[in-house]
């Protein structure tokens, strides 16, 4: 597993602070820099799901991107904080997805 170099690690933190200050595009830059790491998190999250799950790795990462970008007034601390929030967000996406599938099966 190759993570970012110390310089990239510092750049992630700088960009997150800029995102917290409301700079447009800063969070998207961070998410792009951490894309492969987010894909690994998504694969781990999906590994715990039942067979036949239709949401795939890239779809889960994309949904997490959208939800993270929609967060207002969050003070990003660092890379670890973002990755923890991304993992939690992915889990929430999977829960919402399962609830929607159950509702659909019940005719709701």
Does the pTM surpass 0.75? The reply is yes
pLDDT digits (tens, 9 = 90+) for 45-57: 999 887 777 889 9
Residue 63: count of CB within 10 angstroms of its CB: 19
Which candidate, 69, 84, 57, 60, places its Cα nearest to that of 31? 69
Half-sphere exposure of 25 (CA within 13 A, CB side): 0
pLDDT digits (tens, 9 = 90+) for 25-34: 999 999 999 9
- In the chain (108 residues long), the average pLDDT of successive 10-residue segments reads 63 95 93 96 91 85 94 90 97 91 69
Where would I find the H helices in the chain?
Answer: 6-20, 26-33, 35-47, 57-69, 79-105
């Amino acid at each position: 597993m190759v993570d970012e170099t110390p310089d990239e690690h510092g750049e992630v933190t700088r960009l997150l602070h800029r995102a917290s200050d409301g700079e447009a595009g800063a969070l998207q830059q961070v998410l792009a820099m951490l894309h492969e790491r987010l894909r690994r998190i998504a694969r781990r999250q999906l590994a715990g799901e039942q067979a036949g799950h239709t949401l795939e790795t890239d779809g889960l990462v994309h949904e997490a991107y959208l939800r993270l970008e929609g967060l207002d007034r969050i003070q990003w601390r660092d890379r670890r904080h973002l990755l923890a929030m991304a993992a939690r967000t992915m889990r929430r996406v999977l829960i919402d997805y399962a609830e929607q599938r159950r509702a659909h099966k019940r005719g709701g």
